[in-house]
Structure 1
Amino acid sequence: MSKKILGLAFTPITILISASMYTPPVGAVECGEVIVTSVTLDQDLLCDVSDGNPPALTVVGPSGNLILNGYTVSCISSAGGNPGILVEGIASRISGGEVNNCPEGILVQGNGSHTISEMEVRDFRLDGIEIDSNYNIISENMVIGLPGTTVGDGIDSNGDGTTIIQNYVEGVGDGGMEIGGDFINVTLNQVAMVDDLGIFNSGNFTTISNNHLENNSFFGIATTGSFGLIIQNNITGNGDGGVEIRSGNDNIVSQNSILNNGGFGISDNPGGIVISGEFSSRNQILSNTVTGNTDFDLWDVFDSGDCSSDNQWVANIHDTSSPACLD
């Protein structure tokens, strides 16, 4: 399939129009097009993105933007091939519609500073939204995998400095959100019923705040990064536990509500808040409410039994702990 570059011819005029009053023109967009202007869809698309064909749509910033206008970009098959929407360049905006049944929903590349908002991404096989560039905003999206088919993450962020805010993720076969870059802000999201971790973080200086993580198969949040902040999250009913620090140093876990986790996962160290990294140090576990968790509400796995490690456990409301001296 050949690609077509979609542009809009115009005659220059001297009248200045406020950006807030501007509505992108409606474009007769076809499968395989490369969008380099601001375009609004006027119809659903059903595209073949199998190997040898381009993505359903490619949007290239800064001039390329796509408002889906409530329409759906669907792929004939999610078995293999290219994403539904590929974002390249810098500072593109994708909003207001659905991507359905594609191998990967939206792939965000280029130089970054893109905005993906108010999208529904459904029934993908790999990742719902994959972010391979820096300083993007991923906001108010609904990302729903297909149980038994989706093997990837709901949102997979590999660049630095991205904000992931007010998204809903459900039903994926890997992590709800996987955070691989540094200085990522993950806030006000809901992750439920995924067949793995709710949020997995391997980046440094990550902030995970005010999220709701419920009924996921493994831990609600697990981290291997350092200098992170996990604060004011609601974490309940997850199979392995609430929060696990698998490795990394100098993290703060504070003011979280972690209730009734563990008991039906696969971890050897299930619990409310668990430090399972043998060499994890200087982590601070402060002022959390952690009750009803299996095996323990608080658990420092490699502490010798006398709370002599340099991880600090202070003012946590809990019923059980290992060692018993943890507070």
Structure 2
Amino acid sequence: MLKPADYRSDVEPTWCAGCGDFGVLAAITRAFAELGLEPHRVVSVSGIGCSSRLPLFLKNYSIHTLHGRAIPVAIGVKLARPDLTVIVETGDGDLFSIGAGHNPHAARRNVDITVLCMDNQVYGLTKNQVSPTSREWLYGSLTPYGSIDRPLNPIATMLAFGATFVAQTYAGNLQHMTYVIKEAIKHRGFSFVNIISPCPTFNRVDTFQYYKGKVKDINQLGHDPSSYEAALRVAFHDLDHYYDPEAPVPIGIFYRVQMETYEERMAKVKARYGGLEDLQEIIDACKPKRV
């Protein structure tokens, strides 16, 4: 039986001391071990950023792609090898800024991949710029007077795009993270997990101390994850803590529904039209026919 350590590579993490991503790495390896996944049957895909370095520290197959391009690469892997478990390990800047255009289409198509977003509400690797999820008036290297942008709501955004599994967890709770990541991987369809992962170096507001005692598991409070309307109601309160220091921060599974996946629909098309597995056959089939 594999243990969490069996999924770790020989490369040591290079994150700053106290980074929440250390906890995320521990939760991912625990989830893999508890699910009994074979390392050679798991593919990690990332873009650019502090969080996107995570695949370097895992022993499974990994692809470190361009900034914001993790999702289309992951889709390509899944369509080519639907038998593999495909995980996108990314951050709030990578996913909701330069890579934002890929999110709605991956979600609405219900591609069977799991997207783990390590949300530290700041650009850390490029040394302290505000990200799409940064709170208003957060100071950064390019916003010396504070950011005037309103923060994006990751949960509400992915719900609106049609993701069939949407959850949020917290890097300060290893047990909760492990559980949510396991459920996301087990889900057949597009899974999105926002992981609140504080940056102790640059974001001095949204710290572990700030979240202490404020994080509340909505599933233990009676939330029904099968209700899309209930998920939206909770999601739209998700940003209250940006404006009210006393407001709770909800974590848990917001929404989960089973729908036909993109790969299953692709299989139906192949079955209907005989299937074109060879690339040259596909190219030939697409050539215009002479009359």
Q: Counting helix residues as a fraction of each chain, which structure ranks higher?
A: 2
Q: Counting strand residues as a fraction of each chain, which structure ranks higher?
A: 1
What is the TM-score normalised by the length of structure 1? 0.24
